[in-house]
Structure 1
Amino acid sequence: MALPNAMTSFFASRRFRPGRWPTLAAIAFVILTVALGNWQRHRAAEKNALAAEFAAAAGQPPVDLTTRDEDAARLRFRPVRASGEYDAAHQLFIDNKVHAGRPGFHVVAPLRLAASSRYVLVDRGWIAQGARRSDLPVVPPPEGNVTVIGRVNLPPQHYLELRRESTPGPLWENLDIERIAAATGLDLLPVVIEQADPVEPADRLVRDWPAPDLGAAQNVSYMVQWYSFAALALVLWLALNWRPRDA
């Protein structure tokens, strides 16, 4: 009975009088932290969906992209093969790619699909940077008809760009398919093939493709953290605004 009596005494001697500015500050803080929690929840859901997509696609047999170019974007993560000829004149080097702690480039070349006027970008692999960044390595693509085997992927939609040149040369900061198509005049599919080993004839390129970032646990942890901050702010606002009746 002591607890109910203590609560009755507390409420009898105090009244709820929230201040205007503390209330506005609490509302703003709760809205912000709930929004951040919701964003982390959406990111976790996206990663879970991506993980399911990756697992389902990885176990599928290779698709012949030469005959399925109309729905290439829907083949993300699928093993594929594509036949055609490389356009060596438009081979690109994607800058700032690190492998095993060493700076280097991804070597990307357009492949003209057999019996088609369309091209697909093939990420042929990674190569180390030379003594000077401006000295690009000499790694020409194979000549003649080739068949490329690899995995379909989509380039990132958001990236950091330090400079934006209207007519860049062979060195690019990012794999931006739309800009590459505009600069080269090629009709490019909206995907890139990450080429798999073995490659004939052998070259010096490293093909170590990481799985996409599928870990949603960190996002869930951040989500709980932000929601906890919102709940704590609400509890503190309620507790601190019960004032003595004679105050």
Structure 2
Amino acid sequence: MRVSSFFATHRFRPTLLLTVAMVALTALAIALGNWQRHRADEKSAAAALASAADRAAPFDLAAADSDAAAVLYRIVHGAGEYDAAHGVLIDNKVHRGRPGYEVVTPFRLASGNRYVLVDRGWVAQGPTRKVLPSVQTPAGVIEIVGRATVPPKRYLELKADTGQGTLRQNLDIERIAASSGLTLLPFVVEQTDPVIPPDGLLREWPRPDFGIDSHLSYMLQWYSLAALAIALWLVLNWRRRLEGA
């Protein structure tokens, strides 16, 4: 009876303003939800790639080329020697609450005049930032083992980075290649094998966090907002009938 009474005393009369607002908000929310779903699909594919890389046999860097995707997340190994003269320190790297640097050194492959950047690990900042830590670099031909990664293309810079000098804000392969004049492979090796004698660097590499759940959560929020916009439009456009109407 109450439902019948409501329809007897009200009628649905959508206003132009509310309709335009509903359509715009719904379209925007659905578009953003679709984008989050697309990002979740991309991250799921990346996670599957990382899982497959864990099961793959170690890759010999002598066979590496310009295709970073072929070795991404895989364990790699290779013989060569470090080019300590072009090594850099990546600033603002915090380990268990302590500020420090990641030590990145070009590694010349024995198989040819090609180099790959090796992230050799973390070193603590000294008493003052004015004095950079001194890190020993193994000399001569050695064998390295690590996991191949690709640094993010987008990053935050607190100040203009000239791409010169030992201290860098971010690990940028192209900038290091430009400043050093070296031909660098398009990925970085996070070193995992122990160094003898010990070099004092920490090598505790976190597993990649692809953030799939976050994208799915945002996707549901945007789709829920679209549904809410439609529901409010339906509710707010019911008008009480005038007497005699």
Which residues of 2 match residues 225-240 of structure 1 at below 5 A? 225-240=221-236
1:72 CA drift (Å): 4.1
Are the equivalent residues in 2 in contact too, given 1:47–1:213 (CA < 8 A)? no
What is the match of residue 207 of structure 2? 211
* Distance (whole Å) between structure 1 residues aligned to residue 137 and residue 225 of structure 2: 55
What is the match of residue 83 of structure 2? 87
What is the match of residue 151 of structure 1? 147
Range with bigger deviation, 168-177 or 128-137: 128-137
- The alignment partner of 1:69 has SS state of coil
- Structure 1 residues not aligned, in runs of 5+: none
The count of corresponding residues between Structure 1 and Structure 2 is 243
| One of 40, 43, 63 as aligned partner of 1:44 | 40
Which residues of 2 match residues 37-116 of structure 1 at below 5 A? 37-116=33-112
Are the equivalent residues in 1 in contact too, given 2:161–2:169 (CA < 8 A)? no
- Structure 2 residues not aligned, in runs of 5+: none
* Distance (whole Å) between structure 2 residues aligned to residue 166 and residue 128 of structure 1: 24
Q: Could you state the TM-score of these two structures normalised by the residue count of structure 2? A: 0.92
1:215 CA drift (Å): 4.0
* Distance (whole Å) between structure 1 residues aligned to residue 29 and residue 67 of structure 2: 40
What is the match of residue 220 of structure 1? 216
* Distance (whole Å) between structure 2 residues aligned to residue 72 and residue 112 of structure 1: 17
Which residue identity lines up with residue 237 of structure 1 in the other structure?
W
**CA deviation profile, 1:72-106 (whole Å, cap 9, x unmatched):** 44210110002111111000000111111111110
Are the equivalent residues in 2 in contact too, given 1:73–1:191 (CA < 8 A)? no
Are the equivalent residues in 1 in contact too, given 2:117–2:187 (CA < 8 A)? yes
* Distance (whole Å) between structure 1 residues aligned to residue 195 and residue 49 of structure 2: 27
What is the match of residue 184 of structure 1? 180
Which residue identity lines up with residue 211 of structure 1 in the other structure?
R
| One of 161, 168, 173 as aligned partner of 1:165 | 161
* Distance (whole Å) between structure 2 residues aligned to residue 155 and residue 104 of structure 1: 18
What is the match of residue 137 of structure 2? 141
1:239 CA drift (Å): 1.2
Is residue 193 of structure 2 the alignment partner of residue 197 of structure 1?
yes
Are the equivalent residues in 1 in contact too, given 2:66–2:186 (CA < 8 A)? no
Taking a change above 3 Å as real, the CA distance of residues 231 and 186 of structure 1, as seen in their structure-2 partners, is same
- The alignment partner of 1:11 has SS state of helix
What is the match of residue 116 of structure 2? 120
* Distance (whole Å) between structure 2 residues aligned to residue 187 and residue 60 of structure 1: 27
* Distance (whole Å) between structure 1 residues aligned to residue 77 and residue 162 of structure 2: 33
Range with bigger deviation, 10-19 or 27-36: 10-19
**CA deviation profile, 1:125-149 (whole Å, cap 9, x unmatched):** 0111111123211113211111110
* Distance (whole Å) between structure 2 residues aligned to residue 236 and residue 195 of structure 1: 56
* Distance (whole Å) between structure 1 residues aligned to residue 116 and residue 31 of structure 2: 39
Are the equivalent residues in 2 in contact too, given 1:65–1:72 (CA < 8 A)? no
* Distance (whole Å) between structure 1 residues aligned to residue 238 and residue 185 of structure 2: 64
Is residue 26 of structure 2 the alignment partner of residue 17 of structure 1?
no
**CA deviation profile, 1:18-44 (whole Å, cap 9, x unmatched):** 222222222222222222222221222
What is the match of residue 130 of structure 1? 126
* Distance (whole Å) between structure 1 residues aligned to residue 229 and residue 161 of structure 2: 47
Q: Could you state the TM-score of these two structures normalised by the residue count of structure 1? A: 0.91
1:150 CA drift (Å): 0.4
Range with bigger deviation, 13-22 or 48-57: 13-22
Which residue identity lines up with residue 243 of structure 1 in the other structure?
R
| One of 236, 239, 246 as aligned partner of 2:242 | 246
